[in-house]
A and B are shown apart, each in its own frame.
Chain A
């Protein structure tokens, strides 16, 4: 394989594309639908770009980085990550000084995997570090995380916890003992347990799990986002930490919702410029565009009208049309 900087230079003209190219989509293994194209145009609008080429170029970068990291042995993969990483780690010192647990919440944005690896290695010199994600058995595609952790982490310094019942118990124990837990809060396992928050003005489903873990373990939440640092490089932006107030059991959900909103509000401040580099960008930009910020009085009136909403009324009759077995 050619060196990554050379590949980067070779692919740079992709950025200039203003029209769709099905050939390129095939090469990048990213076939787009017409709806995807609309979503990408909306995302371009948010980030001040006017070219679909920016989207293609990001996929190109992702593809060659993933291929490079996978084809290298541990030390070489780490050397490549170090070369691409332009992060100023001084703000991360605050994490090391915490006596409570710390949840580092990283969205699936830009080179988030490389950012997690680089930061986890830094923190693991002084703290127990855990990375929390979906079990590859139930989340196909996450094998790459397993592969990379085996490759780049010294044994026992950084551990993986799968997102299941046992994993959750373990995460609670680790955080209570003051560990650092990396979590990716912009995906959900079960739609029925999600809530909606506004994200770039659109309603987005999120689980409140990050906030719940923080509340139950009195941990702080540190939002951290991988963003572009020019070319193939990335840097991790550390955003103001979020402290979770203890609350009554009746208000626990509301508290978790408030913390989750604060978390994603902070992401919005740094993701806009590279919104095309967010893994969920297509899906999110297709959802109905508005999350109405209603007042308490307005929402109370809507709740009173809800029982007569036609979508929630029973059918006027049920008629059997199945053929007898």
Chain B
């Protein structure tokens, strides 16, 4: 039985399900086979055209379609798609809101792989905290897979300090590109450009401090 079919059986009921699974070779092969048969949509961030992004999945849902789906949440790392900051014992990191939106808004039951078993989160009985807590447990279990877990090395990218370093680098690079562009001729527009970058940097630092301090 594939992980999807096992999850479908566990969830029972009439609601569509979203199954959160880690990216391993065997799980990926089984999920792709289910997708080819039209049983599920696959959600993640991948160059594989069979896998759709969270916004594409949510677009389908808003169009009235509510297909069962497998979410490879471990692949969803990019700032546009991983927008929920989770405060965990291992440090703050970012996850996708797709599980929360599907469960809290579109009545999906969530079936989350947490190692040797699954955690079933029935729609209508959940909060953002219970869903995030389950995703947090999912990641802890995925680390136990060792080298089988294909996304293991990339997980650093969701850590808040790595994100902040990336953002700081981006601001610094843009400031340097501006200096480079204006280095032989610096009209008053150069001062305006520098002031704009300083303002953006200050706002971003305030935002980081606020996110770090809350809730």
Interface of A with B (CB < 8 Å)? Answer: 192, 194-198, 203, 250-251, 253-254, 257-258, 261, 291-296, 298-300, 302-304, 306-307, 309-323
| Complex interface: chain A residues within 8 A of B172 (CB) | 194-196
Judged by a CB distance under 8 angstroms, whether B10 is at the interface is no
Known: A315-B83, A321-B136. A306 touches B174 (CB 8 A): yes
Q: 5 shortest A-B CB distances, which residue pairs?
A: A315-B85, A196-B176, A310-B79, A310-B80, A319-B132
| Complex interface: chain A residues within 8 A of B84 (CB) | 315-319
Q: How far is the CA of A187 from the CA of B178 in the complex (A)?
A: 22
| Complex interface: chain B residues within 8 A of A298 (CB) | 181
Judged by a CB distance under 8 angstroms, whether B207 is at the interface is yes
Known: A257-B176, A295-B181. A317 touches B186 (CB 8 A): no
Contact call A311/B181, Cβ cutoff below 8 A: no
| Complex interface: chain A residues within 8 A of B200 (CB) | 303, 306-307, 312
| Complex interface: chain B residues within 8 A of A251 (CB) | 186
Task: Output the least CB separation between B50 and chain A (Å).
Answer: 25
| Complex interface: chain A residues within 8 A of B211 (CB) | 314-315, 318
CB closest chain-B residue, reference A298? B181
A-B contact count (CB 8 A): 133
Q: How far is the CA of A92 from the CA of B97 in the complex (A)?
A: 64
Task: Output the least CB separation between A254 and chain B (Å).
Answer: 6
Q: 18 additional contacts, CB 8 Å, given A195-B172, A320-B215? A: A192-B168, A195-B175, A196-B177, A257-B180, A258-B183, A261-B180, A295-B181, A303-B197, A306-B196, A306-B197, A306-B200, A307-B203, A311-B167, A311-B170, A312-B204, A315-B84, A319-B87, A322-B87
Question: Residue among B181, B200, B215 with the most chain A CB within 10 A?
Answer: B181
Known: A296-B182, A302-B174, A307-B200. A320 touches B129 (CB 8 A): yes
Q: How far is the CA of A322 from the CA of B185 in the complex (A)?
A: 53
Task: Output the least CB separation between A275 and chain B (Å).
Answer: 22
Judged by a CB distance under 8 angstroms, whether B89 is at the interface is yes
Task: Output the least CB separation between A314 and chain B (Å).
Answer: 5
Q: Give chain B interface residues in 168-215, CB to chain A under 8 Å.
A: 168, 170-186, 189-191, 193, 196-197, 200, 203-204, 207, 210-211, 214-215
CB closest chain-B residue, reference A257? B179
Contact call A196/B173, Cβ cutoff below 8 A: yes
Known: A311-B170, A321-B129. A195 touches B179 (CB 8 A): yes
Task: Output the least CB separation between B105 and chain A (Å).
Answer: 13
| Complex interface: chain A residues within 8 A of B132 (CB) | 319, 321
Q: How far is the CA of A198 from the CA of B211 in the complex (A)?
A: 34
Q: How far is the CA of A261 from the CA of B203 in the complex (A)?
A: 29
Judged by a CB distance under 8 angstroms, whether B159 is at the interface is no
Task: Output the least CB separation between A202 and chain B (Å).
Answer: 12
Q: How far is the CA of A323 from the CA of B129 in the complex (A)?
A: 12
